[in-house]
Amino acid sequence: MPSPSDPGAAAARLTGASVRRTRPLSGAVTEAALDDGRVVIVKREDRPGAVRAEAAGLRWLGDARAVRVPVVHGHDGRWLVSERVATGAPAPGAALRLGRALAALHRAGAPAFGAPPPDGPEAAFIGGAPMRNTPGQEWPAWYAEHRVLPYLRAAVDAGTVRPVEAAVVERVCARLPALAGPAEPPARLHGDLWNGNVLWGADGHAWLIDPAAHGGHRETDLAMLELFGCPFLDRVNEGYDEIAPRADGWPGRVGVHQLFPLLVHAVLFGRAYAEQALAIARRVP
């Protein structure tokens, strides 16, 4: 009898196809070749709600018919089976197309800031950290309450940020209505858009994986992509602004949007990311 921890058995059960071979890619990710010719990725996730959140996010992003995301072939409480993307090398043309696709994705919209994907849980995740998708109508207040302050408090509780330092970030949160730029409707975000979640496909297109999808401000996705580096980022920005130019003054807002991912990383990985977040907060005029 197959083990419940066997990724091959999970792939067979969730796709209805026999598995010809498997190849581990990491501790939680396995590639499986099916007898119908498909090659799939089998991902194990034991945190309650994590698979549901990822599957719902991929489908919601795919429904926009803007960015390329892997097809979800099946999932349950522990396993996600999705299309395998054949990868190639980053290229300027692919980066330009990615920027245009992100603009179209964001324009697809969301019901509210913080809105989860349809059938997605409110208690979701960003990487290894919990993330609550609690809807709100005004971006500055929502961003402070549900994206910046929860991770700042967690970092203080862990001793990664000192209370006196936290006050610097709290002052930025209090000033967000003045810092946010013109009001915009909620965008449909990938939500964890760093370069590791961009696959440069052999087909000449960029594909997005591992979303923390929710309704948010479109500049947050772009600021995260800039924070952790992206090949040909200038072409991504060029393609984006061709389709949906950002409001004047956006370069001065990048740091505000980067506070969220930096504080998530501070909670997960420690002091170096906290220092980056504090440096950004201190530069805010």
pLDDT, one tens digit per residue, over 137-184 is 999 999 999 999 999 999 999 999 999 999 999 999 999 999 999 999
Average pLDDT, the chain: 96
pLDDT recorded at residue 285? 82
- Kindly state the percentage of the chain with pLDDT values over 90: 97
Give the model's confidence band at 27: pLDDT under 50 very low, under 70 low, under 90 confident, else very high. confident
User: How confident is the model at residue 5, as a pLDDT?
Assistant: 77
Quick check: is 46 catalytic? no
Torsion, Cα 112 212 148 138, to 10 degrees, reads -10
- What is the pTM for the complete model shown? 0.95
Tell me if 6 sits within 8 A of 81, measured CB to CB. no
pLDDT at 2 over 90: no
Which residue in this structure is represented by tokens 């170096």?
272
Please count the CA atoms within 13 angstroms of the CA of 33 that sit on its side-chain side.
5
Give the pLDDT confidence score for residue 1 in this predicted structure.
Answer: 38
- Tell me which residue of 268, 193, 204 sits closest to 229, measured CA to CA: 193
> Which residue in the list 192, 203, 210, 241 is annotated as catalytic?
192
